[in-house]
Structure 1
Amino acid sequence: MARNGVSTPKFDLSHFSRHRSRIGHLKLIWREMGRLGLERHDLAPYQSEMLRDLADGLDEETLAEMHNYWEYNTEQLFRRKRDRWGPDGIPAKPRIDVVLEMTSKGNFKAEWFPRGWNRWGPALEDHIGSDFPVWRRYNNRGMGFDTRPSNELFFVRGTSHAVHHIEMARADRWFLALDPVLLAACHALTGELKERLQRHFDVRMVTDLFLEWRTIKIDTDSYFDEADELASWAIEDPETVEERKGCAELAAGAFGFSHEQLVDCWLAESEKPRCPDVTTSAFKSRIVKTLKAQGYSTTTRQLDRYLALIKKYEPERARDLMVTDVGKASGA
């Protein structure tokens, strides 16, 4: 390729950062294309489509339709209230689910549904409990079959190609250098969507976008000698990700004590006279103090985190402490 005397274009991405906004990522791409004398059609076809769709951003028509308050179950919202302990007259936010997915054709999209619904309808036989009792999803919002679904929040074509190149660690062609920037812009677009929706709705992410980064050293004359490098880009169930991270945290054992040491200390303290209830912070403070006296470095916050993790992901091990929990709580 030869264009304006440039035989092999080389993008300067030394200022690429995971913390940029969607527009910030796009500005970086546009600035580099202008510096190299490139047009959008000089990029790979999938990159050209991603660049166009990311510039379009969120689907404002769908977002506007979501604010048709006359279609809400207002009686239910006022009954539920915004804040359990707050004043009357402030309705709760309507509950919605947001689904991110990669389509069979490799396009990245987001759709919204009333809580518990999917594209085939509600989880129950009727609409009881929905904050949108008359809601419907239409595969085409206009007369033509090429129009988008009525509940689609954004649509970015060609994203799977960039994801594949990241997974394969490909960098053998000059234009592939833009793939991490485009994928980071997809992540920023998702964050932009959450920020818009959470102002007015109680949002649950059925699937979400998760990125992993690593820091690399770069040779540059600028003040910064490190840059962000995208390691992975994946759409996953947030609960699955949370469980995986929680189990990994337990396996790492970074709480300052082992489970056996905690059980021994827990039982010994609970049998002492005038022992506080084991469900109180006073008892946990005594546990931390005793562990520190035995040479184990930990904090009340670490203890709370450990107890929450084992009760959620390792209930068998939690029984050693929960038996004492039940006994003390019931006055046994």
Structure 2
Amino acid sequence: MAKIPDGNGPRRARRQIPPQSRLKLFRPISWRGGVIASSTDEYVSHLLIELGRLGMEIRDIEDHARPPNTRTVLSDLLQWLSDRPGKAYAELINWQTLDFPQMRSRLEEDRYAKPRIELSAEITKMNNLSVRWHPAGWRDSEFDWRRPDHHYSNLITHRKWQQPPDFHWFVGDEQPTFDSRPSNELMYVRGVGNLRPAPREEYGPYASYNRDIVDSILICAVRSAYETLLSQLEYSFDVTLIHAFDFVTRDEGDENDPWSARYPIRRVISWTIEDAVDLYARRDQEASLAKEHADRAKLENVATAYGFTLETFVGALLRASSVKRTGPAPSGEHLNRNAAKELRNAGFKIHAGEVRDIRELIERHRIEVLPEFLRPEVSEAPIPPNNIVRFPQDSE
């Protein structure tokens, strides 16, 4: 039976919105610093393995904001690993640019002296990472256009140095062009400033993969490449690091990894490039404060951990330090062993090493509970002799 029109005109078919493509999830990888630091290859390999597992290609995670310049972090890292800037390395290890008299005088004082350089990193206005080298002292030098030996292409003669550099010739910091980079640029990675590893609770309707995880892995690879470059340069040069990466991490579990509850993934959630001296000073201060907090907590927890109070512990030290009929009073490790024996005889489970640790905590944070003769000797700095002879001044 034919459908009778209702008089309201033909109906338009409702637009069918294509369903969102399934979100492809990259598995995270943990940032490990220090002795067990992961290499750049490990992070890059992890990304390539994940791309293959998810049926994706490198171009699927590259930047498409400025075509045709779509090659960004991963592509540039792969190129840097296989073909590092040969010209920049050649300029760096060109021994003809060294100031040989300066190096000879330094070698007479220190046979292990190396040419001194600085290594700096910056994010350009186009959000690219540029790593460059300069002769040591460059950052603290000043422009000096009045030098008599001024040479238009030798930047050594353009500046006033606080200490003589180890190079008599240096050319670099040129303005980049469409087909060339500065001659002192050792690493150039595009798109690093666009990496945003901050965790996202939800992804937009057009997201095809978890970009925050990918950005977290990429920034780990970039930092590893930068620190690998530093360690390699230190074989031949005395390197002063001007800038360093700082990471903020958080521990996360992985539902597909049964060991993640015990060994969680340390995921990078934010990063900055900071002045290396300020960064390391802040880290040392934070580590010192954390250690002091942990030591005080451990000292307050002595009664719970061992079953005796600090007064009982000090009493055992006093009895252990008593002078015997023959021989000197025990001190040092002998005192620790005797005090541990006293406490074990009283029914407490403790050994000499633990006594030494508790003594050190008391000496640092609660020294007032120790008698004078049990406190460590404080060595005072020697007072310099007042043997300065002042010459008489002529009267006016």
Structure-1-length-normalised TM-score: 0.67
Aligned equivalents of 1:146 and 1:77: distance in 2? 36
Aligned to 1:34: 52
Instruction: Show the counterpart of 1:298.
Output: 361
> Aligned match of 1:45 in 40, 52, 63?
63
Counterpart amino acid of residue 51 in structure 1: L
Q: Is the 8 A contact 1:140 1:150 kept in 2?
A: no
Which of the numbers 83, 94, 100 marks the counterpart of 1:74?
Answer: 100
User: Which residue does 2:182 correspond to in 1?
Assistant: 149
Amino acid at match of 2:40: R
| Counterpart residue number, 2:89 | 63
Unaligned runs of 5+ in 1: 258-284, 304-323
Partner of 2:319: none
Equivalent residues of 2:216, 2:269 under 8 A apart: no
Residue of structure 2 equivalent to 1:262? none
- How far 1:116 moved relative to its partner? 1.5
2:26 alignment counterpart: 11
CA contact (8 A) 2:23 2:210 kept: no
- Residue-by-residue CA offset, 1:161-210 (whole Å, 9 max, x unaligned): 11xx2357576242412111100000110111112110111000111112
Mapped contact 2:26–2:50 kept (Cα < 8 A) = yes
2:239 partner SS = strand
On the 8 A contact 1:127/1:133 being kept in 2, the answer is no
RMSD, matched Cα: 3.9
Q: Secondary structure at the match of 1:195?
A: helix
Aligned residues: 268
| 2:318 alignment partner in structure 1 | none
Cα contact 1:255–1:298 (8 A) shared by 2: no
Alignment of 1:106 onto 2:141 = no
- Give the gaps of 5 or more residues in structure 2: 1-17, 65-69, 144-154, 297-331, 337-354, 366-378, 387-396
Distance in 2, Cα, partners of 1:201 & 1:299: 44
Q: Is the 8 A contact 1:206 1:237 kept in 2?
A: yes
Q: Report SS of the residue matched to 2:266.
A: strand
Whole-angstrom CA distance in 1 between matches of 2:86 and 2:103: 25
CA shift in 2, pair 1:127/1:56, >3 Å? farther
Give distance in 1, aligned partners of 2:201 and 2:99: 51
Q: Which has the higher helix share?
A: 1
TM norm structure 2:
0.57
Q: Residue 197 of structure 2: which of 166, 173, 193 is its match?
A: 166
In 1, Cα distance between equivalents of 2:161 and 2:31: 47
Moved over 6 A (4+): none
**Which range moved further: 95-104 or 171-180?**
171-180
User: Partners in 2 of 1:117 and 1:161 — Cα distance?
Assistant: 29
Measured after TM superposition, the shift of residue 17 of structure 1 is 4.5
Are residues 82 and 40 of structure 1, via their aligned partners in 2, closer, same or farther at CA, if it must alter by over 3 Å? farther
**Is contact 2:115–2:236 with CA below 8 Å preserved after alignment?**
yes
* Change over 3 Å in CA distance of 1:299–1:66 after alignment to 2: farther
| Matched residue type, 2:227 | G
The structure whose Rg is larger is 2
Equivalent residue for 1:186? 222
Equivalence for 2:277: 239
Cα distance in 2, alignment partners of residues 329 and 254 from structure 1: 35
Pick the aligned partner of 1:197 from 212, 216, 233.
233
Alignment partner for residue 135 of structure 1, among 167, 170, 175?
Answer: 170
For the structure 1 residues 133 and 299, does the alpha-carbon distance in structure 2 shift closer, same or farther, using more than 3 Å as the test? farther
Aligned counterpart, 1:206: 242
- Work out the CA distance in 2 between the residues paired with 1:149 and 1:39: 31
Q: State the Cα distance separating 1:16 from its structure 2 match.
A: 4.4
